[in-house]
C-alpha cells in the first residue's frame, strides 16, 4: 500500500508528521504485533493465530482485517484451494527489525535473571545477535545521540 493510499485512508492520524505515531496507529496494539510475530514464525490460518495467541475470535477477525487492509498481510488460497491463508507482505516483513528490537528489549528487561524464555535463532540454530543502530560513521546511536528533525 502506498503512502498516498495510507494518507487518504486515515485522515485522523494521532500525529500526522511522526512516523512512530503513524506506525502505532497501524500496529500499536498488542494483538496486531503478536499476529505479525506469529506470521513471521509460520502461522497462516485463523485457527493457528487464535491457538498461538489465545486472542478472542472477534478481536482476531478485526485485527486480521485491519492488517490486511493496511497491506501488512495478504490473503491467498491454501494449496488445496479450499481455504484462505494469511501471509506477510513486504510491508509486514519489514516489521522484522521492530519485532526483533522488542524481543531483545524484552530479553533484557522483562525477565528475571533465572527466568527462561524463547530464543530467536538463525537457520543454523545460532541465537540472533543483539542489534544496535549505527550512524554513518559506525558509531552506535541512542536517545542521547539523536534528535527528531520536524518538517517546517
For residue 147, the model assigns a pLDDT of 95
For residue 11, the model assigns a pLDDT of 62
Model pTM?
A: 0.85
pLDDT in tens, 107-145: 999 999 999 999 999 999 999 999 999 999 999 999 999
The alpha carbon of residue 53 and the mean position of all alpha carbons in its chain are separated, in whole angstroms, by 14
Q: Which domains does the chain have, with CATH numbers?
A: 3-109 (1.10.10.10)
Q: Where are the alpha helices (DSSP H) in the chain?
A: 3-9, 19-27, 30-40, 46-53, 57-69, 90-93, 96-109
Show the CA angle centred on residue 151, arms to residues 145 and 152, nearest 5°: 120
Question: pLDDT > 70: what percent of the chain?
Answer: 93
Hey, what's the cell of 34? 503478536
Amino acid at each position: 500500500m502506498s503512502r498516498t493510499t495510507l494518507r487518504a485512508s486515515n485522515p485522523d492520524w494521532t500525529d500526522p508528521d511522526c512516523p512512530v505515531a503513524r506506525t502505532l496507529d497501524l500496529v500499536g496494539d498488542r494483538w496486531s504485533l503478536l499476529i505479525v510475530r506469529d506470521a513471521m514464525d509460520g502461522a497462516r490460518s485463523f485457527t493457528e493465530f487464535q491457538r498461538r495467541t489465545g486472542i478472542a475470535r472477534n478481536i482476531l477477525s478485526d485485527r486480521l482485517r485491519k492488517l490486511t487492509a493496511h497491506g501488512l498481510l495478504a490473503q491467498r488460497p491454501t494449496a488445496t484451494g479450499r481455504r484462505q491463508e494469511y501471509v506477510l507482505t513486504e510491508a509486514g516483513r519489514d516489521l522484522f527489525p521492530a519485532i526483533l528490537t522488542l524481543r531483545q528489549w524484552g530479553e533484557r528487561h522483562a525477565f528475571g535473571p533465572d527466568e527462561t524464555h524463547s530464543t530467536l535463532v538463525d537457520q543454523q540454530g545460532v541465537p540472533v545477535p543483539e542489534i544496535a543502530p549505527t550512524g554513518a560513521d559506525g558509531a552506535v546511536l541512542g536517545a542521547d545521540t539523536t534528535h527528531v528533525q520536524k518538517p517546517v
